[in-house]
Each structure stands twice: as structure tokens, then as C-alpha cells.
Structure 1
């Protein structure tokens, strides 16, 4: 299968590219600068130098592929609404290229705004600024074969630059590994390579579902995360008010925990990587 991957040099996307190539698939990936393009080429993928704003390039690449995986998203939280709009435009362009065919499009979303213990059948949070899942739904109404991969809030592994490093950085800066209230709000987690397999398996099994959950640890309390971080940094672990966390307060207080039962069943997917709390014991996370 020839798969076009956006975000092919990102934390999740690069793992998806590697997994696809290792499984014998041909990959074309999007890279936005020369350094990223060279790194992508070294993995064995064909490189297209462009950005998510180059909609005609996205359409051409999607038209030339057997399937499309969209993992790209600008995670600059200072301009999240702008990034969400860019993401929506890219998904619409990819869908335009695939309309009238049976070639699938997998888009990426998260768990924010979903109820605790959400299943793959739960509707997305329509109030969310990120519209990737809703954009996929609109394309589906036009006959485009789309599905959404919902990622756990922590897609972890050494080199992670997502939310867990923010927790570690805040602990260092403030001198305390903190949580809000009793810290019983829960996050899901998934090892990076395990998440990548969900995308591949969904394509190989024909994209029969509307939603897949790339989730291994279904529910880890924020207090447990803070406990490991505090111990590894030799810092006290204490409750703090929301203002302690600044812009990160909503994330630190949120429950983003969901079930993976349907995805495991339909894909025959069994995560093999370390759990979130075990992974956080690695010294490299704190180097």
C-alpha cells in the first residue's frame, strides 16, 4: 500500500512512517524544512517539501496515494484556534482529493471534552476548538471513507515533547511536583510505537470503524504521575491551586481517560510498550 502521511517528521507521525515501512508499505511524507526532509528521506520515505497551508500539494499527494494518514498539527498553544483552523482546512483538502474513491483517510484527534471512560462510540466534543473529528464526519457525509484515531493525552517515550515534559518542567521551575485537589483526575497513556501500530492496523483491516482509540493505559491518576515525577526529581509532592499551573491548569485538572476495548477487539491490537508510570521511571526523561 502507498500511504501519504502528514506530520511525517513529528513525534507520532515519524513512528507511523517507521512502522508502515517496516511492515512493507510505501510511504510518502510531508516535511516543512530541509532538515526534516533529510531525516524523513533517511527513513526510506519519499519526501514532499511543503506545509499544511499548501493545499494543492496536499491534494496531489493524496490523489497519488492508496491511503492518507493525517497526523500533522501545530501544537503552539498560544495560537491554538489558528492551528485548529489550519488543521480543518488540510483535512478538507485531503478529503476533496479522495472523494469518489474508496481510498481511506485517517485523521488524528484527542480525548479532550469526552466523558470519563469514553468508548469509540462516544460523540466528539462539538464545543472543542479542534475540529479534526468533526471535519472527518462532514467528509464522511460526502462519501469519503474517513475515520479518526483518538490519541491518549500522553503519547510517551524517551524524547517525548508533549504534556509529560510540561509536568516535569513545571515541577523543576516551581520546586514542587503538584496536582490539583486530590489529584484523582485521570489521563490515558500510550507508548509511541504502540500508537503508531493503530494507524497501520486500521488501514490493513480496511478502516471498518469510525473511531479508533490509541490508548493503552486507560486511566492513570494525575496524582500518580506527580508522585513519580516528584520522586525522580527529589521534590515534594503537594496539592496546589490552579494558578500554580498557569496556562496548563485546564490540562492538569482534566480527566482524559477512555476505553480501548473496541479498538483492541477489531484490530487485534495488543500494546507491548511500557506503561506510562513505568516509562516515567527512566532517567532519560529527566536529563
Structure 2
């Protein structure tokens, strides 16, 4: 089996690539530069040198793949994401999986999801994965929470802490994409563990994991320096998503909620930080 993958060097796409390669799947990885081509080749993938803006050049290669996974979604570039998605759909693989977001529910992204699903039929299974807050390793929101707790001896949350966070460990997200590809899944899959936690409960879990005794509420304007604007936004936005469709492709998360996955995520964060150095 082989999969044409965009975003193979990114945070989520890299985890998908690792999961697929571990299962013996050949990964055709779209990369922009020779440097990234060397990097993915060293990880056992086949590099496809190109860009999202010119995917038509690789339509034949993508179309011959058993599946296409578009994991290089970009909230900041609506037109580029739409163009790339349409080009990959037109390539005509037997399966197409689009990585979307449970947090960005803008009109254009919702419309693009509908376009992906409408393109499905007898010859091509199409699906959308709405990712929640992905955590694990150096990427995502969680490193800000860990870094602040270590630096200040206090685990912080924003506001009253009632906003709910829907999350998924990066490895579980990768397993979900693999299951959809393997089973030819169709429709919308919520890329979350299925047990939302409040921002305050998340802060409490971070405190237990890092080993600090205090938790504290702050307003976004007074958040610790380790918190980026994105982190404050996640902690203030109420997103409670249920996971109901994963079982249709034989998938259940290994980490059923954030507290269950935090110890592993903390280890990953520290290990990867040492490697990056």
C-alpha cells in the first residue's frame, strides 16, 4: 500500500508519516526543498519535490497512490488550502482524507469540508478529520503550559477556567488517519479523544504532571510570557466535541483523555527539547 502525503515534515503530518511507515506503508511525501527531501528519505519515505500551489504537476503520481492524505492544511492561507485540496481531489485516488480543525469553524473551511465530502463516490472514499487540540512532543499548545509551570512553579489557566478543551494525543491522531486510510472510511471524523476537560482541570493535570502545587487564573493580557496568543485562545474557547465515528474504522484512542496522556506528553516534550538542544 502507498499513500501520497502532504505535510509530512509538519507536526501532525510527521506523526502520520511515522505511523504509516511503522505499518509498512510506502509514503510519497510532498516536500518543498531538497533539504526536506533528504530528511524524509532518511526516514524511509519517497520524496516528491513540489509545492501546494503547483500540485497539478504531481496529479498523476497522487492519483496512482492508494490514498491521499492532505495534512498540510493552513488556516492562514484560505486560497492556497482550497486550491491544493481541489487539485488533490481531482487526482482521483481511491481514498482522500482531509485534515481539518475542530477549532476553526470559519465559513470557508466548513464549505471546503462539504466540497471534500461531496466529491466522494463509488470510485473514491472521502473523509474529513476535524482535529482538536493536538498535543505531544514539541508542537501544539501543551509545551507552553509545561514551560510556564516549570518556570513559575504554578500551573496557569485563563479566565474562570470553565471553557472546555477537546484534545487528542498526536500518536492517536496519526492512528486515526491510518485507520481511515486502511478501512476506506467515509464522512466526518472528530479527531479528539472524546472526553473534553475544562481549562482549569487541564491546569490541575499539568500541575500534577510537572510537580507544582499551585494553579492560578490569569487574564489573557497578564498570561505568563511562555503563553502565546494561540494558547490563550485555546484556553478561552469552549470546544466540546464527542468522538462517535472512530469505531467505524476500528479506532479508539490509547489515551482516553488529556490527564491520561499528559505524563507521556511531558516525557516527549523534554526528550525532544534535549534533541533539538
Class of the TM-score when normalised by the shorter of the 2 chains: 0.7 to 0.9
1:122 is matched with none
Match of 2:176 among 198, 213, 220: 198
Displacement of 1:228 after TM fit? 3.5
Instruction: Find the counterpart in structure 2 of residue 263 from structure 1.
Output: 246
> Which of 88, 98, 102 matches 1:107?
98
Per the TM alignment, residue 274 of structure 1 is displaced from its structure 2 partner at its CA by 7.4
In the alignment, which residue of structure 1 is the partner of 2:192?
Answer: 215
1:276 aligned residue: 258
- How has the CA–CA distance of structure 1 residues 237 and 258 changed in structure 2, closer, same or farther, with 3 Å as cutoff? same
Displacement of 1:263: 1.4
Among 182, 185, 195, the residue aligned to 2:160:
182
Root-mean-square deviation over aligned CA pairs: 3.0
2:32 aligned residue: 32
Task: Output the TM-score relative to the length of structure 2.
Answer: 0.80
Which residue, out of 85, 109, 124, partners 2:79? 85
Q: Matched residue pairs, number?
A: 263
Q: What are the ranges of 5 or more consecutive residues in structure 2 without an aligned counterpart?
A: none
Shift of 1:192: 1.9
Contact 2:31 2:49 in 1 (8 A): yes
TM-score (norm 1): 0.78
Change (3 A) 1:35 1:224: farther
Partner of 1:8: 8
Kept in 2, the 8 Å contact 1:184–1:223? The answer is yes
Is it true that 1:247 corresponds to 2:225 in the alignment?
no
Match of 2:91 in 1: 97
Cα 1:18/1:172, change in 2 over 3 Å: closer
C-alpha displacement at 1:69, in angstroms?
0.5
SS in structure 2 at match of 1:72: coil
Runs of 4+ in 1 over 6 A off after TM superposition: 172-175
Aligned to 1:156: 135
Contact 1:126 1:134 in 2 (8 A): no
Structure 1 stretches lacking a partner, 5+ long:
75-79, 114-124
In structure 2, how many angstroms separate the alpha carbons of the residues matched to 1:17 and 1:244?
38
Match of residue 133 from structure 1:
113
Q: 1:50 is matched with which residue?
A: 50
Deviates more, 1:209-218 or 1:129-138: 129-138
Stretch moving more, 272-281 or 53-62? 272-281
Aligned to 1:261, what secondary structure does the other structure show? coil
Which among 207, 227, 230 is matched to residue 204 of structure 2?
227
Deviation at 1:106, TM superposition (A): 0.4
Shift of 1:12: 1.9
The offset of 1:262, in angstroms, is 2.4
Change (3 A) 1:171 1:62: same
* 1:182–1:87 CA distance, 2 compared to 1 (3 A): same
